[in-house]
Amino acid sequence: MQAILRFLSMTCCAGLLAAQAAPTASQQLLAVFDAIQAFRDHEDPMEAIARGRPAEATRIMDRSLAAIERRQQSSIDFLKQLRAIDHAALSERERLDAELIERDLAMGIEGHAFGGYTLVVGPLGGPQQSVPQMCEQMPFARAEDVRNHLERLRAVPQSLRDQRVLLEKGLQLHITPAKATLGGVPAQFDAVIAGKLEVLREPFRRTYPDLSPTQAAELKTAGDAAADAILREFEGLRDFVRDTYVPQSREAIACVELPNGKAWYAFSLRDQTTTDLDPQAIHHIGLSEVARIRSEMLHVIRRTDWFTSQPEHAKQPDDSLFADFVAFLRSDPRFYFTKGDELLAGYRDISKRIDAHLPALFSTLPRLPYGVREIPRFMAPSQTTAYYMSGNLKAGNPGWFFANTFALDQRPKYEMIPLTLHEAVPGHHLQISLSQELPDRHPLRRDLGFNAFVEGWALYAERLGIEMNLYTDPYDDFGRLLYEMWRSCRLVVDTGMHALGWDRARAIDFMQRNTALSTLNIEREVDRYIGWPGQACGYKLGELCISRLRADAQKRLGAAFDLRAFHDAVLGEGALPLAVLESRMQRWITSQAAALPPTN
């Protein structure tokens, strides 16, 4: 909070210090940035600690409605302060920083009006997932760390009660998830309760050099009592979710069916894609990409041993050929592991193969390492295939690529290369870690993430496997196209369900006809799009933007095009809205072209 006080002191005392020089625009910007960061770290101390910044380690985020409104008002105040600064007096980089933070604040303020803050429980998130993972990025090296952990646990029951209030408010406002997506949520609560929160008790069972056996025993007793109190509150919240919240949740799946839903979906698309494209335009882009990729998939199918070993396949029409090939992929045991450890080992092997190719594609690489882990089993049945959890070098946390080992017969081997490229390197881990390690940037800027850029880059990274010669096996190459097709289908089904009248069955059918994803994965994905409107559209739109910029650079620079320099330029300012990226990269291409020797 010191930065907030410093800013207030600077502004309120200006009249009394008229004899002194007024703070420059740069100084004002830094003061506001520091104040915003201090406020955010105060509001979410666990996130600050995970980012390597000092914070009140005995506290957790206040989830009450009053705290949400307090954060909203603070965002409004900070935005006014930023807009009052003379941007013309800032440097080019400072102007970019100011504009991006202003956008971040403005979007948060605008989005608050729709009431999405009441949607605190769903298949992909909620306290049933976040609470059991409270230890994930916290330090446990000293007695103080475990005492801090105890105080955080003691705060959880009230947090759960606060979140129940938000769910009740959502019911009153008719703002709930679609009932179709909530079927597995009570089971997630059941799994947490059955597991007795052992993962939260485990730090009390460790030894610490500055903790006596008597003190350790006292802390363990207190920790067990705190975990038991959380479990009791979980049971009550589980009963409310199962018996009241799910039955009263909305039947309609479309975002436009929510209060002010049409405006809400338009906002979500604008927020998640950083474009002004309307649902119809995005839908048509998706259909065009589906048709293009379908043609490439058929070409790859004809390169497989499945096709060449059976001459009758050559006589099949394209649609039946595709359907038969997909049925083969979904049923042949050679494409599936039978043990979770084998799947994880396979991902680790691919990761190390990719690592060796990175210096040829990037001249700047992150220092932070990453690892591969299993998605926690209590949440695996309703989770997606994989996800990435960012780390922080200062905090001592590596990045983690989490892979789902539930239902191994739904996790095909031919998806593993593009998935690793996407979640680990050169996708999420490389891009996010580089952003966090940007020199001379305020933490606010380093931590910014724009969905279309972050996910667009990760999808673009899947295609870099071609440069790495990772797709020599046609089945692996089909897996790459499958993932690109999957993201293109998202443009179609997300807009279809939320704006164009599609039902859930139609979305599932469309993806079954156009991808080789397993039925389980398709159902999980469709439910994700229902529950997170617009988010899935960022992937393909972001990738198309980056790929278009690369094609333009190659065309204009010819033999002088340097892929490493291009990648460094794309990632050199961290995550950006697509329009800002486009403008910045066009200037980069022009400057590179101007430096070329004249042609005779």
Q: How many helices (H) and strands (E) does the chain have?
A: 27, 3
pLDDT in tens, 536-557: 999 999 999 999 999 999 999 9
pLDDT confidence of 235, banded at 50, 70, 90? very high
pLDDT confidence of 516, banded at 50, 70, 90? confident
Mean pLDDT of 419-432: 98
What is the pLDDT at residue 600? 64
List of residues 6+ apart from 165 with CB closer than 8 A: 64, 65
Q: Residue 511 and residue 201: Cα distance in Å, rounded?
A: 42
Contact 457, 431 (CB under 8 A): yes
pLDDT in tens, 556-582: 999 999 999 999 999 999 999 999 999
Residue 75 clears pLDDT 60, i.e. is over it: yes
Residue 289 clears pLDDT 90, i.e. is over it: yes
Answer left, alpha or beta for residue 174, where phi above 0 means left and psi between -120 and 50 means alpha: left
Give how far Cα 474 sits from Cα of 304, 306, 335, 350, 479, Å.
6, 10, 13, 17, 8
Written as one string, the DSSP assignment of 410-456 is: GS-GGGHHHHHHHHSTTTHHHHHHHHHT-TT--HHHHH---HHHHHH
Q: Of 8 and 332, which is predicted with more confidence?
A: 332
Mean pLDDT of 251-269: 98
Q: Residue 593 and residue 560: Cα distance in Å, rounded?
A: 9
Produce one character per residue of 476-509: b if its CB has 16 or more CB atoms within 10 Å, e if not: bbbbbbbbbbbbbbbbbbbbbbbbbebebeebbe
Residue 101 clears pLDDT 70, i.e. is over it: yes
What is the pLDDT at residue 11? 52
Contact 332, 438 (CB under 8 A): no
For residue 469, which of 414, 543, 417 has the smallest C-alpha distance?
417
List of residues 6+ apart from 139 with CB closer than 8 A: 49, 145, 395, 396
Residues in the chain: 600
Residue 347 clears pLDDT 80, i.e. is over it: yes
Q: Which residues, listed in sequence order, are joined to residue 387 by a DSSP beta bridge?
A: 402
Mean pLDDT of 511-532: 91
For residue 142, which of 57, 226, 43 has the smallest C-alpha distance?
57
Mean pLDDT of 297-311: 96
Q: Is 370 helix (H, G, I), strand (E, B) or coil?
A: strand
For residue 104, which of 453, 430, 391, 440 has the smallest C-alpha distance?
453
Mean pLDDT of 448-460: 97
Q: What does DSSP assign to residue 472?
A: -
Mean pLDDT of 251-265: 98
What is the pLDDT at residue 19? 45
Residue 457 clears pLDDT 90, i.e. is over it: yes
pLDDT in tens, 2-59: 544 454 454 554 444 444 689 999 999 999 999 999 999 999 999 999 999 999 999 9
State percent of the chain over pLDDT 90.
92
pLDDT in tens, 106-163: 999 999 999 999 999 999 899 999 999 999 999 999 999 999 999 999 999 999 999 9
Q: Is 376 exposed, middle or buried (0-12, 13-18, 19+ CB in 10 A)?
A: middle
Structure tokens at 287: 């259909």
Indicate the Cα dihedral angle 484, 486, 489, 494, nearest 10°.
-120
What strands, in cross-sheet order, belong to the sheet with 386-389? 370-374, 399-403, 386-389
Kind of pairing, strands 399-403 and 386-389? antiparallel
pLDDT confidence of 232, banded at 50, 70, 90? very high
Q: In the predicted model, what is the mean pLDDT of the chain?
A: 95
Residue 378 clears pLDDT 90, i.e. is over it: no
Kind of pairing, strands 370-374 and 386-389? unpaired
Residue 210 clears pLDDT 70, i.e. is over it: yes
pLDDT confidence of 178, banded at 50, 70, 90? very high
State percent of the chain over pLDDT 70.
96
Residue 76 clears pLDDT 80, i.e. is over it: yes
List of residues 6+ apart from 221 with CB closer than 8 A: none
